[in-house]
């Protein structure tokens, strides 16, 4: 029997039992769509998170006060503070030839007010280099000053803060009140900037010295360092540890985080999670495969006379096997195809509502789902097909 004839024979058999075929295809499609959707969700989340980290810049090194005691594993996001980092520490780090820029960051909250309008806002203290280190853009005006003016009472507004406190007017040159101090507005950030998860639209930026004065605290929350290039990052890490140790009486009481380490850790965690979720969903594919086996076993029993006839007409065992196995494979392939289409469609639909999840099921996920689905058809179709091929023609033809 030729391939095309086998296909036609199987297809006609499926068409003659429309309801049964539809239900099995549906089961297979749901299972396939489930696997691809879940792996797509996991993979999109992974891509989103690692994307956020690479948005930090591959040259970025972050210094946190406090030494993490853990060895290996994920870099700690919460370290115990043993000794504050200071602006002088940050200054000292610039001496390393591997370091291009350094920006200490001070964080606090304050009530910002202008005329009658006011709001609680996050205040970030930083220096002029933050603009370059975090690839920020200005909507208007200038960024924080450097050099001699580095402690001037000036501020740069996030886009939302500007809209709320200076509706319908250009804020440049106006004064913003934070707590009991006044700062002249010298610039406004473009919308959409983020820094380490902080939405910069919602902040007011001050020179670090001014922020420390405002919060009456000498501490530095983070020091952001830009290495001269990616290859210089390990050098930066060891230089930072040595410099800080020298300045902190031999204590290396800081934690140094690189974008690479963070990003690959999250990549690993989310990748493993995706595989686990996909694997669990794949169980439904196996269940669909067992359904296929069930209908094929019933089909062989119902079509005993047909098997006997085919044998009488001279079909060999391989042909009988191919005809029944082909039907199982066709069922699983149709279901799988429909499921892949649904999965793709659903990813585009979800993307409309959750734009950060990039649409498009990854090819490896579709490939794996197809292999498992058709593999299930093959695995669970083989036994019924062999059973059909082994039927005794005389018994199969008799109505006993």
DSSP 140-209: EE-----GGGGG-SEEEE-HHHHHHHSTTS--TT-EEEETTEEEEEEEEEPTT-EETTEEGGGEEEEEHH
Q: Do 347 and 260 contact (CB within 8 A), yes or no?
A: no
Q: Which residues contact 24 (CB under 8 A, 6 or more apart)?
A: 288, 291, 292, 295, 331, 335
User: CB-wise, 277 or 397, nearer to another protein?
Assistant: 397
User: CB-wise, 238 or 398, nearer to another protein?
Assistant: 398
User: CB-wise, 78 or 313, nearer to another protein?
Assistant: 313
Report the alpha-carbon distance of residue 126 to residue 145 in Å, rounded: 10
Q: Do 42 and 368 contact (CB within 8 A), yes or no?
A: no
Closest approach, Cβ 399 to another protein, in A, equals 7
Closest approach, Cβ 384 to another protein, in A, equals 18
Closest approach, Cβ 311 to another protein, in A, equals 7
In the numeric block, which tokens belong to residue 155? Answer: 């501020």
User: CB-wise, 74 or 305, nearer to another protein?
Assistant: 305
In the numeric block, which tokens belong to residue 249? Answer: 């009486």
Q: Where are the alpha helices (DSSP H) in 55-114?
A: 87-93
Closest approach, Cβ 2 to another protein, in A, equals 5
User: CB-wise, 287 or 298, nearer to another protein?
Assistant: 298
User: CB-wise, 153 or 393, nearer to another protein?
Assistant: 393
User: CB-wise, 238 or 301, nearer to another protein?
Assistant: 301
In the numeric block, which tokens belong to residue 177? Answer: 């009140």
User: CB-wise, 6 or 47, nearer to another protein?
Assistant: 6
Closest approach, Cβ 329 to another protein, in A, equals 19
Closest approach, Cβ 306 to another protein, in A, equals 6
Closest approach, Cβ 315 to another protein, in A, equals 5
Residue 137, CA distances (Å) to 52, 127, 376 in order = 17, 15, 54
Report the alpha-carbon distance of residue 105 to residue 223 in Å, rounded: 6
In the numeric block, which tokens belong to residue 147? Answer: 């050099």
Closest approach, Cβ 26 to another protein, in A, equals 22
User: CB-wise, 169 or 400, nearer to another protein?
Assistant: 400
Closest approach, Cβ 22 to another protein, in A, equals 16
User: Can you state the angle between helices 304-312 and 259-302, rounded to 10 degrees?
Assistant: 80
DSSP secondary-structure letter at 81? P
Q: Which residues make up the interface to another protein (CB under 8 A)?
A: 1-2, 5, 9, 12-13, 15-16, 305-306, 308-319, 393-394, 397, 399
Minimal CA–CA distance to 208: which of 129, 105, 138? 105
Report the alpha-carbon distance of residue 208 to residue 235 in Å, rounded: 26
Q: Do 285 and 370 contact (CB within 8 A), yes or no?
A: no
User: CB-wise, 27 or 310, nearer to another protein?
Assistant: 310
Q: Which residues contact 19 (CB under 8 A, 6 or more apart)?
A: none
Closest approach, Cβ 11 to another protein, in A, equals 11
Place of tokens 């060999």: 316
């Amino acid at each position: 029997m030729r391939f095309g004839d086998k296909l036609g024979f199987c297809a006609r058999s499926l068409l003659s039992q429309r309801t049964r075929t539809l239900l099995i295809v549906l089961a297979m499609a749901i299972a396939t769509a489930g696997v691809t959707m879940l792996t797509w969700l996991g993979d999109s989340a992974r891509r989103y998170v690692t994307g956020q980290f690479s948005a930090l810049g591959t040259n970025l090194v972050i210094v946190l006060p406090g030494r993490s005691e853990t060895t290996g594993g994920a870099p700690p996001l919460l370290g115990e503070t043993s000794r504050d980092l200071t602006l002088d520490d940050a200054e000292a780090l610039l001496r390393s030839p591997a370091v291009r820029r350094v920006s200490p960051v001070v964080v606090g909250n304050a009530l910002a007010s202008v005329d009658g309008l006011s709001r609680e806002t996050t205040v970030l203290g930083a220096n002029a280099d933050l603009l370059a280190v975090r690839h920020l853009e200005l909507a208007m005006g200038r960024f924080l000053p450097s050099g001699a003016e580095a402690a001037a009472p000036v501020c740069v507004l996030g886009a939302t803060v500007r809209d709320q406190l200076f509706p319908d007017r250009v804020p440049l040159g106006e004064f913003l009140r934070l707590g009991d101090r006044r700062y002249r507005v010298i610039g406004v950030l473009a919308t959409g900037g983020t820094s380490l998860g902080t939405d910069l639209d919602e902040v007011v930026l001050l020179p670090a010295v001014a922020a420390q004065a405002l919060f009456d605290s000498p501490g530095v929350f983070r020091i952001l360092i830009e290495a001269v290039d990616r290859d210089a990052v390990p050098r930066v890490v060891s230089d930072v540890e040595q410099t800080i140790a020298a300045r902190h009486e031999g204590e290396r009481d800081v934690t140094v985080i690189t974008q690479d380490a963070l990003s690959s850790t999250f990549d690993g965690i989310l990748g493993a999670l995706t595989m686990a979720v996909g694997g669990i969903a794949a169980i439904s594919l196996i269940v669909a495969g067992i359904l296929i086996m069930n209908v094929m076993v019933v089909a062989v029993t119902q079509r005993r006379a047909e098997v006997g006839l085919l044998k009488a007409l001279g079909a060999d065992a391989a042909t009988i096997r191919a005809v029944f196995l082909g039907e199982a494979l066709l069922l699983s392939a149709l279901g799988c195809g429909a499921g892949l289409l649904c999965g793709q469609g659903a990813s585009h639909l979800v993307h409309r509502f959750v734009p950060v999840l990039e649409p498009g099921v990854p090819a490896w996920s579709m490939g794996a789902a197809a292999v498992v689905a058709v593999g299930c058809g093959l695995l669970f179709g083989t036994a019924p097909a062999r059973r059909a091929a082994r039927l005794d023609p005389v018994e199969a033809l008799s109505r006993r």
